Amino acid sequence: MKIGEKLVKKLSKKYVPEEMIHHEFERYDISFKTDADGNPILLFIGTRKEDGKIRGEYFSRILIKDKNGAVLKDYWDRKGKI
């Protein structure tokens, strides 16, 4: 599974810092963890079970910035099934 352009656009926004955020996206349930700046850094996508956990795929974001805060690298890396 790849992350589509629509989802990447949604994940490019800023959210509440250091929170786990739960949403529905098209036919999937998603949960993502944000860093201290409010950028999503962990993504869980799939189907939410009765206990609240998601069964599906797990992605982590590689976000590398220079000393001035300019983004050098920004991409999502698939880590596997959860």
Domain coverage including residue 30: 5-81
Provide the number of structural domains found in the chain.
1
For the stretch 65-78, pLDDT in tens is 999 989 899 999 99
In degrees and rounded to multiples of 5, residue 28 shows phi and psi of -110, 155
The pLDDT score that the predictor gives to residue 1 is: 67
The answer to whether 13 and 6 have CB atoms below 8 angstroms apart is no
In 3-state terms, the chain is what percent helix, strand and coil (to 5)?
10, 55, 35
For the stretch 14-47, pLDDT in tens is 999 999 999 999 999 999 999 999 999 999 999 9
